[in-house]
Chain A
Amino acid sequence: MVLPRYAWRRLYEQRLVILLTMVAFVWPLLCAGFIYLTNHLELLQGLDADFRAFIQVNGEFFRVFMYVQAGCAVFLAALAGPGLVAPDLANNALPLYFSRPLTRWSYALARLTVIVGMLSVVTWIPGLVLFALQVGLAGGWWLLANWTLGAGMVAGFLVWALILGLVAMASSAYVKWRIVAGAVSLAFFFILSGVAAMIDAVFRVTWGHVIDPAWAVNRIWCTLLGVEPPDGPGAGASTLALVTFVLLLVAVIERKLRPVEVVR
């Protein structure tokens, strides 16, 4: 736990990280207000009946909540994630770490833990707080009927945090320069999303979405939350695509996180 402890401290010494983390709490606060309103319909007496029927805390509500928080998480991961790995590579610090009782895998896991932990602060933790708020206001019956929403949200966010963490680490390991690594992290999602859309448009298919990790994660979320999925490949194909992404990212990390670069 030595590396995560020091990395955690380094992370929150950056003002931008703290600022972005605080910004990421705005949407959960608005959602908390929404939950309060849905459980106090008397406050909405003057409003349209259709609107009152629309505002419900269900899978759709959590999906919208997750979309926004996932977006914040992308920026947070791109901003802070590379700062944990790129400086070690840029300053050639890996030989110092690996000459101690620390394996490459434990180093990578320690860094990944910190990124996932940092993203958890703005993703599933506030989500779980909202879920608990809803349970508190709606009562135990709501929990019994909708516990899968809470479990699905936590699992969905953890998958997303894992992908973001690996992308941030792989880009840092590859380019070794924090700012560029952050830009590469962002570009990774935008470019793949664009390529996926292009494949779909050119070949008039929908399977092109599988190469867009954000879309694949969204597809899995829909299954986890039990909401209407978008057109395209199913949850199984999306899971397979994500597993492939994870393996590719792990391969990049494995190749680049070495104490010495061997020139063959």
Chain B
Amino acid sequence: MENIPVVELEDLKVKLGRREILHGITCRLGVSGKGKAVGLLGPNGAGKSTLILTLLGFLRPSAGRARILGINCGHNMGEARSRIGYMPENDSFVGEMTAVTFLRQMAELSGLPPKAALEKAHEVLFHVGLGESRYRELRTYSYGMKQMAKLAQAIVHGPELVVLDEPTNGLDPAARRRMLKLVTDMKEEHGMNVLVCSHLLRDIEQVCDEAVILKDGAIVHHCNLEEERRSNRSFVELEVTGDDRNLRAALPEIGAEGVSEGGGRWRIVLPAGVEVEAIWGLTAQQDLLVRKLTHRRDTLEEIFLKAMGHLSHTPGESLTL
């Protein structure tokens, strides 16, 4: 069972009618049993949901192969589905059922015996914070509660892989934080693999160890966020007035790298241990007037913008520009 990828795609093509949505995707994501999270990023229409629906067996590939936990999605979906939990993006519930009955039914459908299913339903509802309202009908829940109930039904049977489609959609900041905390707990404490589909970079950055960026039905970038985090780099967006031609040459003096976007705008990457004050010193040395300085640590935005073609070059990747 070692080193089986959570998701393995081989030249996967998916058509909806005559339109090809996924154009021959090949990749290996995550490692089964490691409790890691993979983020699926991309703008609207990139093919994220199509990929998820194909992995769940809801859509048939027109060519190629998709494997989930080592199981071919085209053939043994029954076995694969008993090991997967799925939280869809849209509202999905049975309104007339109480949360506990709903979860019990879903757990039984996934193969748990009735008694164990009931115990797990109670346990999971408390875990996601719906313990007090578990005997209420789902249609009476608020939007945030419904999102939590959707997450609960996805994990009630203790799946090896949980597929979350836009889990924080429409949540207020507090609920969003709780959702992300639960996702982190799922992988770190319960060893579940998680596949998160989102267009919110911060969510992916916060919970995922790996990220795949899709654009127009193809993978445009695959990165290891763990390594990016370990590098402990931070990013600076700088806007200056004055002659900044010598700034690129001066940046290595403080161990930094950067690219000019023109008009005095710079994207600079600071290595671990170098603080933003060094930039202030450097601009003072160069006689530059700082109009704007933004300092942050989320590397994913840089990667995403580059993958989308909005940024020609990611600072730190190369110094040839």
Q: Chain A: residues with CB nearer than 8 A to chain B?
A: 2-3, 6, 10, 87-88, 90-93, 95-103, 258-260, 262-264
Q: How far is the CA of A119 from the CA of B269 in the complex (A)?
A: 71
Q: Are A2 and B86 in contact (CB under 8 A)?
A: no
A91, B109: Cβ atoms closer than 8 Å: no
| Subset of 28 A-B contacts with CB under 8 Å | A2-B105, A3-B105, A3-B109, A87-B95, A88-B94, A90-B95, A91-B91, A91-B92, A91-B93, A92-B88, A92-B91, A95-B58, A95-B88, A96-B88, A96-B93, A96-B106, A98-B56, A98-B57, A99-B84, A99-B85, A100-B81, A101-B78, A101-B82, A101-B109, A101-B111, A102-B109, A258-B58, A262-B17
Min CB distance, B204 to chain A, in Å? 22
The 3 A-B residue pairs with the shortest CB-CB distance, nearest first, are: A264-B17, A99-B86, A2-B108
What separation, in Å, do the CA atoms of A258 and B79 have in the docked complex? 20
A260 near B94: Cβ-Cβ < 8 Å = no
Choose from B16, B79, B101, B109 the contact partner of A262 (Cβ within 8 Å).
B16
Which of B57, B82, B96, B139 has the largest number of chain A CB atoms within 10 A? B96
Q: A90, A102, A259 — which one has the most chain B CB atoms within 10 A of its CB? A: A259
Q: Is the CB of B94 within 8 A of A93?
A: yes
List the B side residues contacting A2 at CB < 8 Å.
105, 108-109
Contact partners of B153 in chain A: CB under 8 A: 96
Min CB gap A3→B, angstroms: 7
**Quick check: B111 and A264 within 8 Å, CB to CB?**
no
Task: Say yes or no for B59: interface residue by CB 8 A criterion.
Answer: yes
B311 close to chain A: CB less than 8 A? no
In angstroms, Cα B106 to Cα A98, docked, is: 11
Q: Which residue of B lies closest to A3 (CB)?
A: B109
Contact B92 A101 (CB under 8 A): no
Give Cα A260 to B139, complex, Å: 21
- Within residues 94 to 152 of chain B, which ones have a CB less than 8 A from any CB in chain A? 94-97, 101, 105-106, 108-111, 139
Most buried by B among A3, A93, A98, A102: A93
- Complex Cα distance A257/B84, Å? 21
How many angstroms from the CA of A8 to the CA of B115 in the assembled complex? 19
CB distance from B155 to the nearest CB of A (A): 12
- Specify which chain A residues have a CB less than 8 angstroms from the CB of B58 in the assembled complex: 95, 98, 258-260
B90 lies within 8 A of chain A by Cβ: yes
B19 at the A interface (CB under 8 A): yes
Asked if B95 and A100 make an inter-chain contact with CB atoms under 8 angstroms apart, the answer reads: no
Complex: A131 Cα to B94 Cα, angstroms? 41
* B103–chain A nearest beta-carbon distance, Å: 11
Contact: A95 with B59, CB < 8 Å? no
A96→B81 contact, CB < 8 A: no
Contact check: which of A3, A100, A262, A263 meets B59 at CB < 8 Å? A262
Q: Which residues of A contact B91 (CB under 8 A)?
A: 91-92
When A6-B101, A99-B56, A99-B84 are in contact, do A93 and B109 touch as well, CB less than 8 Å? Answer: no
Residues on A with beta carbons closer than 8 Å to the beta carbon of B84? 99
Known: A100-B81, A264-B19. A95 touches B86 (CB 8 A): yes
Q: How long is the Cα–Cα vector from A110 to B109 in the complex, in angstroms? A: 12
Contacts of B78 in A (CB 8 A): 101, 103
Contacting residues, chain B, for A262 (C-beta < 8 A): 16-17, 59
Is residue B200 contacting chain A, with contact meaning CB distance below 8 A? no
Interface: B53 (CB within 8 A): yes
When the two chains form their complex, are residues B101 and A93 in contact, meaning their CB atoms are under 8 A apart? no
B101 CB contacts on chain A under 8 angstroms: 6
Contacting residues, chain A, for B163 (C-beta < 8 A): 99
Q: Are B90 and A100 in contact (CB under 8 A)?
A: no
Q: Which residues of B contact A98 (CB under 8 A)?
A: 56-58
**A178: nearest chain-B partner, CB-CB:** B96
Q: Which B residue's beta carbon lies closest to that of A7?
A: B105
Residue of B nearest to A92 (CB): B92
B175 to chain A, nearest CB (A): 20
Shortest Cβ distance from B250 into chain A, in angstroms? 54
Q: In whole angstroms, what is the CA distance A178 to B300 when docked? A: 46
Which residues of B sit under 8 angstroms from A90, Cβ to Cβ? 95
Q: Which residues of chain B come closer than 8 Å to A95, judged between CB atoms? A: 56, 58, 86, 88, 92
- Whether the pair B106, A260 counts as a contact (CB closer than 8 A) is no
Chain A: CB-nearest residue to B90? A92
- Docked Cα-Cα span, A183 to B97, in Å, equals 24
Collect the chain B residues with CB atoms within 8 Å of residue A264's CB: 16-19
Which residues of A sit under 8 angstroms from B82, Cβ to Cβ? 100-101
Alpha-carbon gap, A92 to B89, bound state (A)? 11
B78, B79, B109 pick with most chain A CB within 10 angstroms: B109
Closest to B139 in A: A91
Question: CB-CB < 8 A to A92: which residues of B?
Answer: 88, 90-92
Which residues from B are CB-within-8-Å of A97? 109
Interface residues of B in 66-88 (CB under 8 A from A): 78-79, 81-82, 84-86, 88
What B residues does A6 contact at CB under 8 A? 101, 105
Q: Give the distance in Å from the alpha carbon of A189 to the alpha carbon of B90 in the complex.
A: 35
Chain A residues with CB below 8 A from B81, complex form: 99-102
Please state if B53 and A93 are interface contacts (CB–CB under 8 Å): no
Smallest Cβ-Cβ distance to B88: which chain A residue: A95
B contact residues around A99 at 8 Å (CB) = 56, 81, 84-86, 163
Is there contact, CB below 8 Å, between A91 and B95? yes
Shortest Cβ distance from B53 into A: residue: A260
Contacts of B93 in A (CB 8 A): 91, 93, 96
- Distance A259 CA – B163 CA, assembled complex (angstroms): 15
